[in-house]
Structure 1
Amino acid sequence: MFGISRRELLLGGGATAAASLASGLAASRAFAADLTLPVSTLDHSIVPGTVTQGMMSFAPDGPPPVIRMRQGESFAIDVANGIDEATTVHWHGLRVPNAMDGVPYLTQEPVEPGGRVRYTLNSPDAGTYWYHPHCNTLDQMARGLTGLLVVEDAEDPGFDRDLPLNIRDFRLGGDGQFIALFKARNAARGGTLGTVSTVNWQTEPVYELPAGSLVRLRLAVTDVTRVGTYDLDGGLAQVIALDSNPLPRPVAPKGIVIAPGQRADIALRVPDREEETVRLTLRTPAGPRTLATVRPVGASARRDLAELRPLRPNPVPEPDLANAETVDFLFGWSPEGDEPVPSFCGSLGYTFWSINRVAWQGDTPSPVDPLAVLKQGRSYILRLRNETQNDHPIHLHGMSFRLLRSDKRKIPPLVTDTALLRSQETMEVALVADNPGNWVFHCHVIEHQKTGLTGYLRVEA
């Protein structure tokens, strides 16, 4: 266990995080927040003709808002906890100071009912991100606590419209009410799928957009389980970014695999005629399922995709592969005898999974030791080995990494924060350990995360 005090642990494991949090608290008294997120319970219609009770949102009367901030500019968010259990907020994909990362006990204390906390964000990167709780994670996310966050490009690419699409399932019965949020036998396998597919909390929404215009579709899969394959049919379209980072060359929006936590930005040229609709679909064993439809309206603007300016690469440091140290991580089953411990931030009651044969037993004031200690400024190759039959979208907080190679398939050298590790696959990724602190490293199938497939890396000077 750590040779540091509980207070040091709560503030990120060192004086840097403590100083950052202290300065943030002092600043919170000096100026108003740019935005307040009230964590709320509410009743809301998801299935037509019914009202789902016991939902949760970062808004009092509807879906969580899309947060918009600008690249390189500070943005202060006050989170006011209005529910009857503890929570935190994590800013998925943002490279923020450790004290702002929203992980209970590792970077901050849980926000208790009636409590309030300020997060001050300043993203060096542009792109599509999202936010969600990291305390009582499965229950709160499954009930609705997932929202999109957009960091606007410093240079406008030239779109006419920007449409964020929050893609997720809910586990609802025919009466529109929540059914069991997970099943233990599924948590020990691929995870428990939802029953109702939604986009922005709607089933098969139709978006009317100006004919012939250029629209940036921001797809974010905030689901707790589903690894899906998506297609965009109709119009002229290109995938221009994945996981907030521009692609070297655009690709067709066909067969896009997006796992929980991952994102895809699509440049769409809306068709000229109203009868020429565009459909976003999810591939299923029963055939394509329509998630959302774009319908052209009005006279054509006659825009062309060639008019768009290329997205600028984000300033992610490039690893020095020739001098990088390799660190191994095994994602597998939990050793026998490992049991979860009572936690203020909830437990599913099971331990099925582990990283390097160590299972995360719960969010507690005294978590396990780090999986690895990295030196700030050094380059590393992380070798990720999946010994299981199931897919695991592996997410690293606080830093971005580059995909290098796989023993199962050809992978592009993309920069990301969430890599989909397929069944029995070994993948290597590389990063520069440029952000000091304790950074959670976990599977984003939340049942896997909450039943052991979690750990953290420590970056120290």
Structure 2
Amino acid sequence: MISRRGLLLGSAAAGLVSFAPSAIGQVPASIDTLPASAPVRNLSLVAREIDAHLLGPDKPATKRVATYDGELFKMVRAPRGTRLIVDFENQLPDFTTVHWHGIRAPYLFDGVAPITQEVVKPGERFRYNVPLPDPGFYFFHPHCDETGQVGRGLFSALVVDDPADAKAGYDAECFIVVKDWRLGDDGQWLEMSTTDGAATTGTFGNIRTTNGSLTAPRVEVPAYGDVRVRTLIADGTRVIDFGCDTDDAFLIAIDGQALPPVHFNDLPDGIWRMGPAMRADAQVRMPAPGKEVQIFDYRSAEPFLLTTLVAVDKKGMRAKSRTALKAKPLPPAKVPLPDLKSAKRMEFLLQVSAGATAVSPPLPADDPLSKALIDSMCVGSTTHWAISRDSWAVQDALRLPPPLAVLDNGTSYVISMTNVTKHVHPMHLHGHIFRVLSHSKKPKLPQYLADTVMVEPNETVEIAFKAVSGNWVFHCHILEHMDTGLMGWFRIS
């Protein structure tokens, strides 16, 4: 166990975390994003299994539902600028880790075995140092056997609140968490991954839910009010076309990062396409009391109802009925931004693979990670995908593959990703908030900040970021794609 004092030591000015897991040895500097004086919140977190009635209260209970603290759809909230010291205990029967998705934390606490930590075995503990420098909507989940553990429910929403958000003047807040389940009629688990699914669009759940409910939630909000609707795709496969049946709506944040509001009618097809791990905040203006706004996934053959907002009369809201619709922007994000004029360029292909390959230069033999082993529990059984012919290790090739590239800390980079497959790939870069510069299939889409970006078939997407020291993975967040090759990593020092 690393002591709390050890977590907070280092250079206060540079924010360096000066230690490393003993199994890995000397590694690049792990940069903290908050000063040592930041307020600390201690959090106990336990991964364990429960029985739950996922098919309904009158249906058979499902065994081995994976949870944090025994709570499905758990949510953690903390103020911006807080440091979470998380004492994590694994009470699952399997190996696991915790990845803090979208959080700019020191990479030694990024939760990726074997490049940031060893797996947390059953009965073991690990202490995570999780600074929260940026407001927004995030989540955390395992990064070992992710298809199986997330598939069985192991994730939690993480909201980082900023008092400045209150100035935007929202009258209510509503959360939508999209999560499918793979269950038989007896309530027990079906196979989480199939060969056909892993090699194509992913293996879909057969039970669709919003916030764990089989029927779309009905949420009462103030009539004439402006509602902040915050949506998370916690599923490992599902891609949705998020939209609503009103013209009075704006997209105001992507992956927790504020966006100059964009009217939904000005988005391609009037929707925002979201895949696994992606988040979006929308502003919805409510109509008169008794009327409703319905929020849909329009990607389904028939629009799939996610949530119904029900307008109810609230004291003091009548006067607002006379005000014109106006966008309510959130305070601008304050994350490190790339210098596009000096940025270095890299190009990668997202492609199918005939088998495990690695074409990037190997790490030097004396590099502490050159012999790092990937646990077989944390990867798939075969290879279907690759990034520019590099595939994550599977089967007998369970050593860490070489990095896709070795980058310089503090330098700006532009990555061009071209998807030459027939399927979408939501690509996630750990430890960074990047600027999405362009989508070749959506040329009118404005630039925005994100940590996960959708790359459509036969599309090129460009992103830019300022590199932060560490070993950071880069992968598709359709979890079976990641498990079967579509993942790589960058060494930044």
- Give the TM interval when normalised to the shorter protein: 0.7 to 0.9
Indicate the residue corresponding to 1:3 in structure 2.
none
Q: CA deviation at 1:249?
A: 2.9
Alignment of 1:297-446 (within 5 A): 297-299=312-314, 301-302=317-318, 303=320, 310-336=329-355, 343-362=375-394, 366-410=399-443, 411-433=445-467, 435-446=468-479
Query: Residues 311 and 458 of structure 1: is their aligned pair in 2 closer, same or farther, counting only changes over 3 Å?
Result: same
Matched residue of 2:341: which SS? helix
- 1:272 alignment partner, one of 288, 295, 299: 288
Alpha-carbon distance in 1 for matches of 2:173, 2:442: 33
Counterpart of 1:66 (choices 45, 60, 75) is 75
Q: CA deviation at 1:450?
A: 0.1
Shift in Å, 1:150:
0.8
**3-state SS in 1 of match to 2:390:** coil
Letter in 1 for 2:125: R
CA distance in 2, matches of 1:268, 1:170: 29
Alpha-carbon deviation of 1:424?
A: 1.6
TM-score (norm 2): 0.83
Distance 1:210 1:329, change over 3 A: same
Q: Could you tell me which residue of structure 1 aligns to residue 185 of structure 2? A: 174
- Aligned CA distance change for structure 1 residues 177 and 344 (closer, same or farther; 3 Å): same
* Counterparts of 2:348 and 2:412, CA distance in 1: 16
* Corresponding position of 2:175: 164
Aligned to 1:53: 63
Partner of 2:147, secondary structure, is helix
Q: Does 1:226 align with 2:238?
A: yes
Identify which range, 113-122 or 387-396, moves more after superposition: 113-122
Aligned residue in 2 for 1:249:
261
Q: Deviations over 1:152-211 (max 9, x none)?
A: 124123333332222121112333332121210121111111111112211222223343
Q: Is residue 108 from structure 1 mapped to residue 127 from structure 2 by the alignment?
A: no
Residue identity opposite 1:388 in structure 2: T
Alpha-carbon distance change, 336 to 76 in structure 1, aligned in 2, over 3 angstroms: closer
In the alignment, residue 95 of structure 2 is paired with which amino acid? Answer: A
Contact 2:169 2:328 in 1 (8 A): yes
Deviations along 1:237-296, one digit per CA (max 9) or x if unpaired, are: 32211111222233228422111111110123333312x122221124531111222223
AA partner of residue 336 (structure 2): P
- Secondary structure, aligned partner of 2:149: helix
Please list, as runs of the form range in 1=range in 2, the aligned pairs for 1:84-99 lying within 5 A after superposition: 84-99=93-108
Looking at structure 2, the residues matched to 33 and 114 of structure 1 have their Cα atoms a distance apart, in angstroms, of: 24
SS in 2 for 1:124: coil
Whether the 8 Å contact between 2:176 and 2:306 is mirrored in structure 1 is no
Q: 1:272 touches 1:299 (CA, 8 Å); kept in 2?
A: no
For 2:331 and 2:133, locate their aligned partners in 1 and report how far apart those are by CA, in whole Å: 12
1:310: Cα distance to partner? 2.7
Cα pair 1:395 1:418 within 8 Å, conserved: yes
Look up the SS of the partner of 1:141 in the other structure.
Answer: helix
TM-score normalized with structure 1 length:
0.88
Moved more, 217-226 or 204-213: 204-213
CA distance in structure 1 between the aligned counterparts of 2:193 and 2:376, rounded to whole angstroms? 20
Contact 2:356 2:393 in 1 (8 A): no
Decide whether aligned partners of structure 1 residues 344 and 315 sit closer, same or farther in structure 2, where only a CA change above 3 A counts: same
User: CA offsets, 1:297-338, max 9 Å, x none?
Assistant: 343534468688531221223322222111121211224465
Name the aligned partner's letter for residue 415 of structure 1: L
Q: Does 1:288 align with 2:307?
A: no
For the 8 Å contact 2:41–2:82, the answer to whether it is kept is no
2:29 is paired with a residue whose SS is: helix
Matched, 1:207 2:219: yes
State yes or no: 1:14 paired with 2:27.
Answer: yes
Q: 2 CA distance for matches of 1:415 and 1:96?
A: 17
Counterpart Cα distance in 1 of 2:128 and 2:410? 25
Does the alignment pair 1:237 with 2:256? no
Partner of 1:36: 44
CA apart distance, 1:214: 3.3
For residues 349 and 305 of structure 1, what CA distance do their matches in structure 2 show? 56
Moved more, 50-59 or 371-380: 50-59
Gaps of 5+ in 1: 1-5
Q: Which runs of 5+ in 2 are unaligned?
A: 1-19, 359-372
C-alpha distance after superposition, 1:404-430 (max 9, x if no partner): 233333132111111111102122211
Q: 1:162–1:217: 8 Å Cα contact kept in structure 2? A: yes
> Which amino acid is 1:100 matched to?
F
